[in-house]
Amino acid sequence: MNKITLYHGSDKIISEPKINLGKKYNDYGQGLYCTRHLELAKEWAVDEGRDGFVNIYELDIKGLKVLDLNSEDYSILHWLTVLLEHRVLNVNAPVAIEGMEYLKRHYHISLDDYDVVLGYRADDSYFSFARAFISNSISIAQLEKAMYLGNLGTQYFIKSKNAFSKLNFIEALPVDSTEFFSKKNQRDTKARADYEKITNAMDRDGVYILDLIRKEK
């Protein structure tokens, strides 16, 4: 099937999404971020004391150039590098600074020629996992395990004019914050608790960012 249903959680109805939608420093830049999971979109739509909407779209992916960062062609380090090149991460430690430069040299992927990007969603807690890896606090294996916590799934990033031209708005569903903000918090709390279990001990056999830097030299 060439047509897929996508959900976007927001504080408003977006019947005509624009290519410059959202913040410049989102995971993969400006565009429309969606999921194929309705319940997740409902959680992302609300905030404490604020209701929201799930905007439902149909995307015809035929003829679109899609980059799937979760495919076997790429590793968690490719995803992390894309993230670091678009989101703002202020670091001072020399290992973190060198680590970021190392990743950009070896795992950079240009998104310029792609219409749609698939990859992990990095909300605040998950972005902290990425920061921990760059700071040499967790290994690659621990980072990979951490990214599966919370079952956030894969987000679809619609980024090109071509992709937006093939995106059709279906409807918008109202979302009650009373129910779904609580679920959102529960998911985040569990992910953080599980992360602590994964990282409460050093991964003695694991590969850390400092190992990669040293191997290069």
Q: Please report the sign of the dihedral spanned by the C-alpha atoms of residue 150, residue 153, residue 159, residue 161.
A: negative
Residue 150 pLDDT > 60, yes or no? no
Whole-number pLDDT of residue 29: 81
Residue 58 pLDDT > 80, yes or no? yes
Q: Which two tokens stand for residue 118?
A: 């698939």
Closest CA to 206 of 150, 148, 136: 136
Whole-number pLDDT of residue 217: 65
Cα 147 from Cα 139, distance rounded (Å):
12
Cα 167 from Cα 178, distance rounded (Å):
30
| Mean pLDDT of the 105-122 span | 92
Contact 99, 143 (CB under 8 A): no
pLDDT band at 147 (very low <50, low <70, confident <90, very high): confident
What ranges in 14-156 are assigned the alpha helix state H? 38-45, 76-86, 94-107, 124-134, 140-147
Give the amino acid at 176: D
Whole-number pLDDT of residue 196: 83
Per DSSP, the three-state class of 150 is: helix
Whole-number pLDDT of residue 159: 94
Contact 7, 56 (CB under 8 A): yes
The predicted-structure confidence for 152-196, as pLDDT tens digits, reads as follows 678 999 999 999 999 999 999 999 999 999 998 888 888 778 878
Taking the complete model, does pTM exceed 0.85, yes or no? yes
Cα–Cα distance list, 135 to 5, 78, 96, 126 (Å): 38, 17, 5, 14
Higher-scoring residue by pLDDT: 195, 116: 116
Cα 35 from Cα 165, distance rounded (Å):
18
pLDDT band at 93 (very low <50, low <70, confident <90, very high): confident
Closest CA to 64 of 3, 124, 21, 17: 3
Whole-number pLDDT of residue 45: 95
Closest CA to 78 of 68, 92, 90: 68
* Ordered strands of the 52-60 beta sheet: 66-68, 116-120, 154-158, 32-35, 3-10, 52-60, 167-175
Cα 20 from Cα 200, distance rounded (Å):
41
Cα 7 from Cα 154, distance rounded (Å):
12
